[in-house]
Structure 1
Amino acid sequence: MANDQAPPARARNPRDGGSRLRERIVAAAAELLDETGDGTAISLRSVARRAGIAAPSIYRHFPDRSAIVLAAVRRAFAELEAALRHGLAAAGDDPRRRLFAVCDGYLDFARWHPERYRAMFGRARMPAPSGTSPTAADLAALGDGCLTLLREVLEECARAGHTTSAEPITGAVALWLGLHGLAHQSAVSTNFAWPAGTARRVITALAHLNDTGARGRCVETEIEARRP
């Protein structure tokens, strides 16, 4: 039988410092996104209950609900970027291996955190940009660090002669779109019999990678073993 009881509120701590209280608010909102994948689950009341604070105290740190959602989504993108950097650090110096490590980390993040990922890409339900919160600049900057990483690994491949792509930023955007499509379809098409090596083929095509011999194929085979 499903448990219909609301999760217990955090213990109240009236002596929380300002920065700690702000972090508790963002953490509470992030938990709600993780559970629902939907920004509409975030309200002043739900966040206050989850954080164990009085709702009016939120206004000391956030002007409105939209600002809380934005902070939670920013946190999610920061965690995605950290995951990509972790994979990159373990990938060594081979440019192709580094490219696949970043792409693999992206797809792993989406698979391990499906609700959070859905909220990051379209289900946060923030209102249209305004002059207060969030602004158009706030929304445009989401994911900048992740896109920069994709551009950098593509540039590394270009310098090593592993790709014919001459426009790293355009290539990075195309690669991100492909990764997002893979992540989304893997999540919603769970009964589809994915052909072996689908992710490898998509990444190779969108990154315009050329065949550089056995070493490159070995790297791609490692990814193929872990992907749809």
Structure 2
Amino acid sequence: MGVSISGAPQERIKGCLGYDRRMGSENAVSSAASTEAPVRAYHHGDLRETLMEAALASIAAHGTEKLSLRALAREAGVSPTAPYRHFSSKESLLAAIAEAGYVRLFERFESVVAAAQGDLESRLLAIGMAYLEFALEHPARYELMFGSVLADFSGYASLQEAGQRCYRVLYQVLEDGLEHADGSDLTATRLGGVVWAAVHGVASLMLYHRALHPTDDAGFVGASLWQMQSDPARALRTLFAGMR
């Protein structure tokens, strides 16, 4: 059983593993920033998006602590107060970047679920692979979405809603699939968080141990991480099969 996601997702995932990332300062080499859209010259009416793109590049290179609206304004060639017309603070800028990430992730989920053929496991695999691709292609944005920098979304209603929309795609897939499962006492509510946590765990392990080989870390953990890196689709299928 397998799911075809355009462009050989497994190969793309492997190709995304060539960046560096130090979680203490959330640093990454410039290759991580290159996966996001390049910073464009400022044009009238374009400043909000330009600031968000520049912020992502800065976060990938230097981490969130060194990010400042004043420096972004200088880079965009506008006055130091201009960014505040769009963002009340650095945190609100980070929240906007995270929200845009959830919108992109939602669109990916919708696309792969619509294209997936087959049973519940096939559709879950499509969502899981889309999630892994997103995390590895956009590590700086992913960290804002799921890391500790924006630990509290309560002050950003649209960000909360964007995140919930992503989860609702998974919930609906589970609800539809379990409805036709014979003799299953599982519910979408009970299983949804478990599935999300499992996929998120695989993504995190692949991000933090991108070059791990079984011989680098003897035993079960090293072998397991190598399996995830070399064949993420198989790893996800194994996880999902064990939940049923």
- Structure-1-length-normalised TM-score: 0.70
1:99 aligns with 2:124: yes
Structure 1 residue 115, shift from structure 2 partner: 2.9
Who is 2:236 aligned against?
A: 199
Q: Is the 8 A contact 2:39 2:54 kept in 1?
A: no
Structure with larger Rg? 1
Q: Is the 8 A contact 2:95 2:156 kept in 1?
A: no
Moved over 6 A (4+): none
1:101-140 superposed matches below 5 A: 101-123=126-148, 125-126=149-150, 135=155, 137=157, 140=160
Q: Is the 8 A contact 1:44 1:58 kept in 2?
A: yes
Who is 1:39 aligned against?
A: 64
Gaps of 5+ in 1: 209-228
Who is 1:146 aligned against?
A: 166
What is the CA–CA distance in structure 1 between the aligned matches of 2:202 and 2:54, rounded to whole Å? 29
Who is 2:218 aligned against?
A: none
Who is 1:30 aligned against?
A: 56
Who is 2:189 aligned against?
A: 169
Q: Is the 8 A contact 2:112 2:130 kept in 1?
A: yes
CA RMSD of aligned residues (A): 3.1
What is the CA–CA distance in structure 2 between the aligned matches of 1:175 and 1:53, rounded to whole Å? 45
1:75 aligns with 2:100: yes
Residue 23 of structure 1 aligns to a residue whose secondary structure is helix
Change (3 A) 1:25 1:136: closer
Structure 1 residue 175, shift from structure 2 partner: 0.9
Gaps of 5+ in 2: 1-28, 31-37, 213-221
Amino acid aligned to 1:169: T
Amino acid aligned to 1:145: R
Change (3 A) 1:97 1:36: same
What is the CA–CA distance in structure 2 between the aligned matches of 1:62 and 1:95, rounded to whole Å? 41
What is the CA–CA distance in structure 1 between the aligned matches of 2:77 and 2:183, rounded to whole Å? 52
What is the CA–CA distance in structure 2 between the aligned matches of 1:147 and 1:183, rounded to whole Å? 16
Structure 1 residue 93, shift from structure 2 partner: 5.7
What is the CA–CA distance in structure 2 between the aligned matches of 1:112 and 1:105, rounded to whole Å? 10
Q: Is the 8 A contact 1:10 1:49 kept in 2?
A: no
Change (3 A) 1:136 1:62: closer
